[in-house]
Amino acid sequence: MSATTHPLTPQVDVRRTDDRFKTRIDWLDSKHSFSFGHHRNPNNTHHGLLLVSNDDVVLPGAGFDTHPHRDMEIVTWVLQGSLVHQDSEGNTGVLYPGLAQRMSAGTGILHSERNDSWRTQGGPSHDEPVRFIQMWIPPDERGIQPGYEQRELDDGLLRGGLVPVASGMDKHNGDAAIRIQNRDAALHAARLDVGGSVTVPDAPFVHLFVARGNVDLEGAGPLAEGDAARLTGTGGQKLTADSEAEVLIWEMHATIR
C-alpha cells in the first residue's frame, strides 16, 4: 500500500448494479463490485484500498460455513434480517441493521456467517432472507493479532448525516463506531429521507455505494439501488436522496500498490 495525495486527475466512474459480477446458487444471491472468487477482471480488482464490496442475500437456514481468512480487515453491514457470526477466537454475534461489525483476520481466523439466529437465540425458525454488504480492506501491518468488534448505531444518528462507522484515521479517533487497522481508510454511512442530502468526503479515493433507494450525485446524475461511484482525486459533491435511501461511502487516502 502506498500513500497517495492530490493532485490526481479528477474522475467519477459510475458502475451500475447490473454490470457487477454475480454469483447465484440455491441459497445465495451475491453481487460483487470487484473481482472475487472465480470472477476475474485484471482491470477491476480494487478502488483505493477497497478490495471487496459484496452485496449478499442469504436464504434462512443457510450461509457461509466455517472458512479461513488472513491479513484482512473485514467490515459487515446488514441491511435486512439477521446474520450469525461465529469464529475460532470464540466471538459470537448476531448482526442486524444498524449494528456495525469488524473482524481483523490477522495471522489467521476461521469464521462462519449464517442466517439461522434461532439456533443461537432459540425460538422458532424464520423465513426472512438476510441481506448484507461485506467489505474488505488490507491492514496497515500484516500478521497482527486477530480481533473482533461490533457496535450498534442509533437510527437517529444515521439520519443526521454521514456517520463514521469504521475508521482507522486519527481524525475519527473516538468518533467511529468501530476501529479498523488501517490509518488511511474510513467507512461512512447515512440514511436519507426524500430530499435529504450529505456531502461526499474529499479524499484521493472515494467509493460510494447506494445500498437502498435512489440518489442523485452532483455532477454525475442519478444512482439507483446497487449502483456505485468510484471517485478519484475529487470530493465535496452533494448527494441528494430521490427516495428513502441508505448509502455507504469509503473515504480513502491511499491505494494498493
pLDDT, average across residues 159-165: 95
- Supply the mean pLDDT for the chain: 95
Provide the pLDDT confidence category of residue 6 given band limits of 50, 70 and 90.
very low
Count of C-beta atoms within a 10 Å radius of residue 39: 14
Instruction: Point out the least confidently predicted range of 27-41, 50-64, 168-182.
Output: 168-182
C-alpha cell at 185: 481508510
Task: Write the single-letter amino acid at 141.
Answer: E
Query: Does the reported pTM lie above 0.85?
Result: yes
pLDDT, average across residues 136-151: 96
pLDDT, average across residues 212-224: 98
Number of folded domains that form the chain: 1
- What CATH number is associated with residue 126? 2.60.120.10
pLDDT for res 30? 98
pLDDT, average across residues 117-140: 91
184/179 Cα distance (integer angstroms): 12
pLDDT for res 8? 87
186/99 Cα distance (integer angstroms): 16
Q: Please write the tens of the pLDDT for every residue from 7-42.
A: 789 999 999 999 999 999 999 999 999 999 999 999
CB 143 within 8 A of CB 106: yes
**Domain range spanning residue 89?**
2-255
Q: Please write the tens of the pLDDT for every residue from 232-257.
A: 999 999 999 999 999 999 999 999 98
**What percent of the chain is predicted at pLDDT more than 90?**
90
DSSP the chain: -EE--S----EEEEE-GGGSEEEEETTEEEEESS-BTTB--TT-S-BTTB-EEEEEEE-TT-EEEEEEE-S-EEEEEEEES-EEEEETTS-EEEE-TTEEEEEE-TT-EEEEEES-THHHH-S------EEEEEEEE--SSSSPPPEEEEEE--HHHHTTS-EEEEE--GGGTTTSSEE-S-TTEEEEEEEE-TT-EEE---EEEEEEEEEES-EEETTTEEE-TT-EEEEEEE---EEEESSSEEEEEEEESEE--
Nearest CA to 217 out of 197, 202, 203 is that of 197
CB 29 within 8 A of CB 226: no
Which residues make beta-bridge pairs with 130?
A: 58
Provide the pLDDT confidence category of residue 2 given band limits of 50, 70 and 90.
very low
